[in-house]
Structure 1
């Protein structure tokens, strides 16, 4: 509705929104009594933040969330509120990592168009130590309500930066000292046989089309995920998770 704020739907996203940005919450709407299960915790967080709560029927939540997959709870934010981390420049992610005395690790997505894939990637990136995710503005999924829900609330903690030109962003990251590695099923280097421990930007392509040639050509190396069975490519979220895990494995081995 006009004049109303953004919607956060689903148990985990609502919990994280209330934990990280209680000041942005305007109203909590639910279908089940808050006396038991996950709703008990959600109700406690809402009461602590003095967020009004109201029980409604499922059809009302379906309409608000735009999907029946809201798990019986929706948080409406205040108009103009931004519950997600506000970062607009990938170099800010690099600077934050350097200030924390660690090598930056960024994940760049080239035209990943499924919001559920984007959300799953953000979830893996958060738990596997990435400093942020970078996505192009055009022909790519944005951090919509569906993506936030698929992230299981991690989108409230990990910055997702939208850029107008992914290629230019790669150039700037190289100038900042990052090594650029692209996931490629035909890559010359196996991910577990190449050094991924330094400042790094990983690039993963979208569903079906993969990484565009102009983006691939900018990268310092093309890495493949060693696989058994018949040749093929992995889902973008799966590929991103495996590569992030390999980076984490190598870094932990170096750090002891």
Structure 2
């Protein structure tokens, strides 16, 4: 069975009891009695998303013949917290540098972003609990080991988290083509959180409104947007460049 999937009622119940990190639980429609009902209750108490799907979808996803109408996606690595990410920066005597991902769905994008985040010395990544890929086995593989070094916090509300980061003294910069300045003309040297949007929709309206400012990447070709992990890499390296220049 895959490292990031659990199948069957007993394995999932035991994972819940042991406080293992679970990204989401899939339940076949109509399978909500007995032990499944207890699992739903535990998941609700822990804030774990539950999705009801057709049984055929579970049949397609399952690697065993005994999923019993239920499957869970578990994290390939433990999650951190926003507080731990900021404290980690303080302990190193660093100005905080955080990446916020607004509904990134592709595990390859998250893995690539983690790899670049490690390369530029970012202190951590923040993702939402819902409508976002978690720390799956594919993410772990794509990160090329960075999953062991880059803390990832999963939060219930990105907008509220941005408010907390501002209270901690971070500036919040969103990547969006409506930005007034190109990324290289914006001061990114201080304590900062970079917001990267969804692969198709970009940064959501509410989150854009929460940003202190928006920066744009110049596009002179025929294509109007970049892959999320590429855009994130360009912005992260600009933060690193400005910090290195400032240090002389």
**TM-score with structure 1 setting the length:** 0.67
Contact 1:84 1:157 in 2 (8 A): no
- 1:40-98 superposed Cα distances (whole Å, 9 cap, x missing partner): xxxxxxxxxxxxxxxxxxxxxxxxxx7xxxxxxxxxxxxxx9873541x2122112212
Cα RMSD for the two superposed structures: 2.2
- Give me the whole-angstrom Cα distance separating, in 1, the residues matched to 2:204 and 2:96: 24
Unaligned runs of 5+ in 2: 6-62, 64-73
SS of the residue 2:134 aligns to: coil
- Partner residue in 2 for 1:74: none
Report what 2:247 is aligned to. Answer: 255
- The 1:7–1:114 alpha-carbon spacing in structure 2 relative to 1, beyond 3 Å, is closer
Match of 1:50 in 2: none
Three-state SS of the structure 2 residue aligned to 1:118 is helix
* CA offsets 1:3-39 (integer angstroms, 9 cap, x no match): xx9469xxxxxxxxxxxxxxxxxxxxxxxxxxxxxxx
CA distance in 2, matches of 1:191, 1:102: 22
2:91 aligned to which of 82, 95, 99: 99
Could you tell which deviates more after superposition, 134-143 or 222-231?
Answer: 222-231
* Counterpart-to-counterpart distance in 2, 1:169 and 1:196: 20
Count of aligned residue pairs for this structure pair: 182
Q: Which moved more, 1:93-102 or 1:140-149?
A: 93-102
Measure how far apart 1:99 and its partner are. Answer: 2.2
Q: Is the 8 A contact 2:76 2:137 kept in 1?
A: no
TM-score w.r.t. structure 2 length? 0.69
- Aligned counterpart in structure 1 of residue 77 of structure 2, from 68, 80, 84: 84
Residue correspondence of structure 1 range 19-38 to structure 2 within 5 A: none
